[in-house]
Amino acid sequence: MSDDGAGRPLVMGILNVTPDSFSDGGLHLFDPVEAGLRLRDEGADWVDVGGESTRPGATPVEVDEERRRVLSVIEALSRRGVPVSVDTMKTAVLRDALAAGASLANDVNGGREEGYLETVAAAGAEVALMHMRGVPATMQNAPAYGDVVAEVHAFLVKRRDFALRAGIDESKIWLDPGVGFGKTDDHTRALLRALPELTKEGKVLLGISRKGFLGRLAGGAPAHDRLEGMLALHAWAQLSGVGMMRVHDVRATVRALDALDWLG
Ligand code: HH2
């Protein structure tokens, strides 16, 4: 189900303004605004601008460097009427990104940095709260859970409660199970199978685009060659009630979601 309760799920196009993202690092540094406009023209409902890679093993980026990477891009895209989301864990970056025109805060850290949720609330923005176990530098080192579905869902419900208490309207909160963030492939499978339960808790955003498990499912396919598995699993997510997909391949995603939606 989409944001407004009808039609296909929304599509969030990924625009990483980074030298080191796992699938598009360095690709958009030359002309990120053009790349963002292209995503919009291909049908993205949001363009998600990120200045810090969170791939497994990534090193953190300083606040000023992250600001330098994203703010002018956000400002330029917003000025052209593109709905912009900012992919940041940092309250300081978020504050400036919202002032530059972003209206969705996408946080792989679940809004845990001090002042993050209050900053979202003060701006009247939307927020995506993702589950991550550990930190990107080490999160894929043997992640372990008792019951991954119960633990991830409980974390997301708790973070949603914090967001509500900070003054964010429930209609503006997205929950994301965080595929690849401290999860083995078995954990990912369990979480994907449990999507129909998570969508009963609230609006769900899913980010599986080009992720490692899709490469392993496709016999070791590299990041740019993992489309088919993603589209198949999007169909499952769509039928499970997921409201937004975060993707690199916007055109193919929109076409696939529209085709399934066409069945009614
Ligand atoms: N995944 C990535 C980054 N941000 N945000 C949400 N809400 N959900 C996700 O699954 C998610 C996310 C990682 O993917 P990508 O941006 O392509 O790579 P990198 O972190 O290397 O820039």
- Nearest CA owner, ligand 1 atom 12: 108
- End-to-end CA distance of the chain, in Å? 11
Give residue-wise pLDDT tens across range 121-178.
999 999 999 999 988 888 888 889 999 999 999 999 999 999 999 999 999 999 999 9
With 0.75 as the threshold, say if the pTM is over it. yes
Under the banding of pLDDT at 50, 70 and 90, the label for residue 22 is confident
Cβ–ligand 1 distance for 52 under 6 Å, the answer no
d(CA 166, CA 174): 15
Q: Which member of 159, 160, 183, 211 is catalytic? A: 211
Q: How far is CA 128 from the centre of its chain?
A: 7
Closest CA to 200 of 149, 148, 165, 162: 149
How far does residue 263's CA lie from ligand 1's centre (Å)? 30
Cβ–ligand 1 distance for 246 under 6 Å, the answer yes
Closest ligand 1 atom, residue 179 Cα: 10
Q: What is the DSSP string of 167-184?
A: T--GGGEEEE--TTSS--
Q: Is 211 annotated as catalytic?
A: yes
What is the predicted pLDDT for the residue at 6?
Answer: 55
Q: Is 95 annotated as catalytic?
A: no
Give residue-wise pLDDT tens across range 39-93.
999 999 999 999 999 988 888 999 999 999 999 999 999 999 999 999 999 999 9
